[in-house]
Chains A and B, each alone.
Chain A
């Protein structure tokens, strides 16, 4: 059975190359919106700092087979993200990429309600998620539990390795601990297998990629 949406996590220490890998995945995504809290994804053609402008953009994008935009938050991160998550949930059929996801969560045990709704019910609205984080131990358990694919860069911190072992298994944690600085390992949590390098960049190719997909319909 094919997935109705995909949740992809990219985890790695600063400078390990996780943003570049995330950008590679996003590059193949036909309908993309980036919550760019670090304002670093300038390859995305449409940039917004105002949610009303973003709303107009999403209206414009409704019937388009491809679009890409990024929102750079200016005020309260969690509040702006919740509004954006609500808009995306209503519109559906796109990939939402979130940089440094622990910045949105107060603790690994908490997800904002709108974010939680995207994680739990996003598949019914064809909303895929791509998130990045520096440390696995800081990511909300609710999010890691729903993640289908992990792209794991080198980790040495024992708590992070424990978190990886919890979610992906001891063997994967062991392999991650031995990775070189810019080395990575991609893990398919559903099929429980390591992905080939060529498969990683195509993770952004959602099966549902046309505006014909509306809520509840694949």
Chain B
């Protein structure tokens, strides 16, 4: 059966049914912890793989079929582990390019922000730059006057306290950063317990007897 999944753009042209079947077979024979889902990109791929095997994979990982398959595919070293390719700028629709007699204007960066103003009585937004809309139009004041607080007669003490509190802040943030990094490492590193659990799930499947056909 054909299973269609979305894959990261950086995997395009590098994912094949045969590889997926091989990975699936390896995984079902010796389950292991899988890397996290690299995320669905915009590229679609059709994989010709047995539906029952996908069901088992789905049961072991507890993910949806597409997530489970992406995690399985991500375990292959040849594929990049994350989705890194940048999203390209929006292009004019192909039909617009091919329509005769219509010259394409240069793309403007305001096309996306112009939508909320469409239909109003003001000047056509296509003719306004982003700065003109936001600052020149007076809708927002982006740079308000800075607020200053004065502490009369205590300037030197305040400066010392400020240095101390700054150092304290830095230490606290460094500590929090360390804790967060440790947590992330623990979260994404292969856990022996998870491997054991997935092996246990597979081992719970009944073991059946082999069949050797005549002449096989």
Contacts and interface: CB of A to CB of B under 8 A. Distances in A.
A59 B56 contact: yes
B208 interface: yes
Contacts of B21: 63, 212
Closest 10 CB pairs of A and B: A68-B211, A45-B209, A62-B52, A27-B214, A62-B50, A59-B52, A28-B214, A66-B211, A30-B213, A46-B208
Given A91-B52, A214-B49, A69 B214 contact: no
A29 B213 contact: yes
Given A30-B213, A205-B215, A217-B48, A67 B1 contact: no
Interface residues of A, number: 31
Interface string B188-216: 00000000000000000110111111111
Interface of A: 27-30, 32, 44-46, 53, 56-63, 66-69, 90-91, 201, 204-205, 211-212, 214-215, 217
A58 B216 contact: no
Contact of B1 (A58, A63, A215): A215
Contacts of A91: 50, 52
A27 B55 contact: no
Of the listed residues A28, A58, A62, A90, the one surrounded by the most CB atoms of chain B closer than 10 A to its CB is A62
B24 interface: yes
A209 to B, nearest CB: 9
A46 B214 contact: no
7 contacts: A27-B213, A28-B213, A57-B208, A60-B206, A62-B50, A204-B213, A214-B48
Interface string B58-80: 00000000000000000000000
A30 B21 CA distance: 20
Given A46-B209, A57-B208, A60-B206, A66 B52 contact: no
Nearest to B209: A45
A66 B50 contact: no
B56 A214 contact: no
B206 to A, nearest CB: 6
A104 B178 CA distance: 70
A68 B216 CA distance: 13
